[in-house]
Structure 1
Amino acid sequence: MSNEQNVSSASFVPALCLGVLVFVSGAAVMIYEFIAVRMLQRFFGSSLEVWSAEISVCLLGLAAGYSLGGWMADRFRSWAPLGVVLCIAGFSAVFMEPIVVKTAEHVAQSEVMRWWEPLVASAAATLVPLLALGTVMPQAIRLAVTRLDRVGSSAGRIAALSTLGSICGTMATSTLFVTWGVRESLYATCAALVVGGVFIVFAHFAARRKTAPVAALIVASAPFLAPAAFAQTIYENYSAYHHILVRDEAEKRILYFDSSPQSTMFKTDAYAGGFEYTEFFYAPLVLDPTTKSVLFVGLGGGTGPKYFLKHYPEMKIEVSEIDPAVVKVAKQYFELPEDPRLRIVTIDGRTFIQRTKQTYGAIIMDAYASGPNGAYLPYHLATQEFFRSAFDRIENGGCLVYNVMGEYGGSNDNIVRGMLQTLESVFQKVYVFQAESSWNTVYLAQKIDPAKLAPNGTRDGKGWPDGPWLAHPADLSDLAAQLAAKGNYLPPNFPKRLTQFSAAHTAARDGKLYTDNNAPVDIAQGR
């Protein structure tokens, strides 16, 4: 046999078709991976363990698939098995969400998440479709080889197409999740694989003058394409960043991200019923009653922006919210008004702060990811480098407010200590408050740049309340009472609220300094 002898199988499908199938299967691997993570985060939070579990399962599935695919390529040397595995990869992934739900219900039995729980759920949901996709490349290489002296170039070309597909699948996920939603992206990917697989099988048997009723695979999957309904839920969706739920519970409407409550209001009064910790958002207006502009990072149901728009007619509000789906929910279900004083930018908070040229009287941080053991701050919003960027965007005498789900000596104690240590490395004065009705710790960090003060020690030559209060320690409760007596709006009993100091306020500063290089705030605690 000469090395130029044609060793390909049936040639009825052109090389272009084979390349497209390899490209699509490569893209599907990454799309499945991202979709699985979004579904796993609903039950296991946004911790790194979820990503570690899914990446491990993905690599295991591909490794097993490569081995099985090599055997299939040598054993069958046919297009039909390639079509079958594409159908399996598409059809089995349709069940990804119910498998995640059922598996999580069985393994998540303890209060603290065990390291193997997301690994088991990930394997149950994605190992089969990923294994099937792993068999594609070896079979495609076998079918692409037409000359024995070109095996290397054929294998390299197929591997390159698969990798390019994976790159495109990775880049496409953010657009697909935002435009379609997670479920819709999953079903579209499944459909593409099943259609491709059915085409290959039909074409193979048509070439042999045979037919097979494999189209029934698509029909059989139809009942599973309808999303499940949830009792007491008026809205549910997977966005690119959250599993979003809006529930009406008794007299309240509550917004959930990944089963963690984010915002609440009374159904009969959109400006009442908010969480206690949101009242601390008014604290910067005590230290500087002249504040005219506020930036909120994280929108949720829009409690803070909504209240500020109502009570401060001269104030301009900007919001940085990474998830456009959250913006729609806040407007549609939580009555966030359309107002010329309100500007919402759908962008990551750190990116916005680093790029904007605007300065603010206050920046209010209420952005975090929720997990089974508590709150997990996005690490890039909790570092010294980030706080320096925020410091530059705050007016002298202005404040940064930061909400953390945790309490000193209790849940997420290490994060509460670390955040205080890190904030005090940037800001001149930091107060720490503790909510009474929840385990929210709220930091109030004031910027005081002595080099830019007037000769009399004020910012603009005017003392408080016509300018910021800059002398510390201060009796914030007394300052609030004075403002309320003058007619400045503050929440009822707000002076008392400003006496709710966290024990961290006077404790030893022994927390970890968080930097971009090391800020493990998004890794589950309690193991």
Structure 2
Amino acid sequence: MNPPIDISEQAGVRYLHFGSDWIQGAMRIRRPHALELAYTREMMAGLLLRDGLAADGGRWPRKVLIIGLGAASLARFVHHHLPQARIRVVEIAPAVVAAARQFFKLPAEDARFSIHLGCGAQYVLERDETWDYILVDGYDRNARAGALDTLPFHQALHARLSEHGLMAANLFGRARGYKASLERIVHASGGRAVAFPSCDSGNVVAFAAAGEPVERSMDELRLRARQLKEETGLDLGPTVTRLEQSGTLPGAHLRL
């Protein structure tokens, strides 16, 4: 499965396309480890929720699974800013991996970073390995998620989360909106899921948790956002503000 690959550049940003004007990923050439697109920044908001220890006593997350490579934005960010993390990327299209290597500074494979070529749903369904953070962002050229938007996939995904596990999924572009997709995630996680308010691009990022409960007040979220910005340059202040203004958090606490 190889979609048509097109590369464009504008105002210092390089874009990935699958044979259309639709943007599948982006990288600011002078800041390759930053997250250029708003929804990719939001997908890292799990760092607001789990800022403590991983299951083995090290910093969280220790193991990260990324389903869907795109322009390698999430892979570059995690590889550069979370040196404690071991990362596995699952990508179905060899041409996407080749483009990421040639144009988007894909990290070299080693003991810490690896790429599996194949279907993300099949990978999760067939393997027992657990992960601290699973990031799901897989779409075809028509913005369809296919097997990555099914209840069996999300049930298997939830079973692969560690005792400190979190999952983040980009729900943008799915047929008939994101609500049916979110319902599958909520069902698979036993209700331990939330969709963050839509960011400027229209993307909706959903989070689900397993194991240790998550509870964060708005003050705690703001403090952690400031720390993350200082540590990594990742600005999740707008995300926290949208959460607060949405009025969707009971008692102004995020609980998962």
TM norm structure 1: 0.42
Q: Secondary structure at the match of 1:280?
A: helix
- The residue number in structure 2 matching 1:327 is 97
The 8 Å contact of residues 228 and 235 in structure 2, kept in 1 or not, is answered as no
* Inter-CA distance 503–306: structure 2 relative to 1 (3 Å threshold): same
* Inter-CA distance 418–270: structure 2 relative to 1 (3 Å threshold): same
- The residue number in structure 1 matching 2:196 is 433
C-alpha distance after superposition, 1:235-257 (max 9, x if no partner): xxxxx331111112232111001
Taking CA–CA contacts closer than 8 Å with sequence separation of 6 or more, which of the two structures ends up with the larger relative contact order?
2
- The residue number in structure 1 matching 2:149 is 382
Is the counterpart of residue 416 in structure 1 residue 158 in structure 2?
A: no
- The residue number in structure 1 matching 2:158 is 391
Name the amino acid aligned to 2:154: F
> Which of 489, 492, 496 is 2:238 aligned to?
496
Q: Secondary structure at the match of 2:46?
A: helix
Report which of the two has the higher share of helix. Answer: 1
Name the amino acid aligned to 1:338: A
Q: Secondary structure at the match of 2:115?
A: strand
C-alpha distance after superposition, 1:59-97 (max 9, x if no partner): xxxxxxxxxxxxxxxxxxxxxxxxxxxxxxxxxxxxxxx
Offset of residue 355 of structure 1 = 2.0
Is the counterpart of residue 443 in structure 1 residue 206 in structure 2?
A: yes
Name the amino acid aligned to 1:363: I
Offset of residue 325 of structure 1 = 1.1
Offset of residue 332 of structure 1 = 0.9
The 8 Å contact of residues 477 and 496 in structure 1, kept in 2 or not, is answered as no
1:8-27 aligned at under 5 Å gives the runs: none
C-alpha distance after superposition, 1:286-309 (max 9, x if no partner): 222222111000001100010111
> Which of 45, 67, 71 is 1:301 aligned to?
71
- The residue number in structure 1 matching 2:254 is none
Name the amino acid aligned to 1:247: S
> Which of 364, 385, 388 is 2:135 aligned to?
364
* Inter-CA distance 477–323: structure 2 relative to 1 (3 Å threshold): farther
* Inter-CA distance 445–305: structure 2 relative to 1 (3 Å threshold): same
- The residue number in structure 1 matching 2:7 is 246
Offset of residue 415 of structure 1 = 3.1
C-alpha distance after superposition, 1:145-190 (max 9, x if no partner): xxxxxxxxxxxxxxxxxxxxxxxxxxxxxxxxxxxxxxxxxxxxxx
Residues in 2 aligned to 1:344 and 1:486: alpha-carbon distance in whole angstroms: 27
- The residue number in structure 1 matching 2:55 is none
Residues in 2 aligned to 1:438 and 1:322: alpha-carbon distance in whole angstroms: 25
C-alpha distance after superposition, 1:457-500 (max 9, x if no partner): xx5xxxxxxxxxx154x336623524744998354431332333
Residues in 1 aligned to 2:72 and 2:244: alpha-carbon distance in whole angstroms: 26
Structure 1 stretches of at least 4 aligned residues deviating more than 6 Å after TM superposition: 502-505
The 8 Å contact of residues 432 and 502 in structure 1, kept in 2 or not, is answered as no
Residues in 1 aligned to 2:219 and 2:3: alpha-carbon distance in whole angstroms: 37
Residues in 2 aligned to 1:302 and 1:486: alpha-carbon distance in whole angstroms: 20
Number of aligned residue pairs: give it: 238
Residues in 2 aligned to 1:414 and 1:505: alpha-carbon distance in whole angstroms: 24
Q: Percent identity?
A: 24
Offset of residue 385 of structure 1 = 1.0
Residues in 2 aligned to 1:338 and 1:480: alpha-carbon distance in whole angstroms: 34
Q: Secondary structure at the match of 1:414?
A: coil
1:225-264 aligned at under 5 Å gives the runs: 240-259=1-20, 260-264=22-26
* Inter-CA distance 483–253: structure 2 relative to 1 (3 Å threshold): closer
Name the amino acid aligned to 1:352: Y
Q: Secondary structure at the match of 2:155?
A: helix
Name the amino acid aligned to 2:240: L
- Tell me how large the CA RMSD over aligned residues is: 2.8
Offset of residue 397 of structure 1 = 3.2
* Inter-CA distance 261–279: structure 2 relative to 1 (3 Å threshold): same
Offset of residue 435 of structure 1 = 4.4
Residues in 1 aligned to 2:205 and 2:247: alpha-carbon distance in whole angstroms: 11
The 8 Å contact of residues 433 and 498 in structure 1, kept in 2 or not, is answered as no
Q: Secondary structure at the match of 2:27?
A: strand
Which consecutive unaligned segments of at least 5 residues does structure 1 have? 1-239, 407-411, 449-458, 460-469, 508-527
Q: Secondary structure at the match of 2:165?
A: strand
Residues in 2 aligned to 1:477 and 1:400: alpha-carbon distance in whole angstroms: 23
The 10-residue stretch of structure 1 (284-293 or 315-324) with the greater mean CA deviation from structure 2: 284-293
The 8 Å contact of residues 324 and 346 in structure 1, kept in 2 or not, is answered as yes
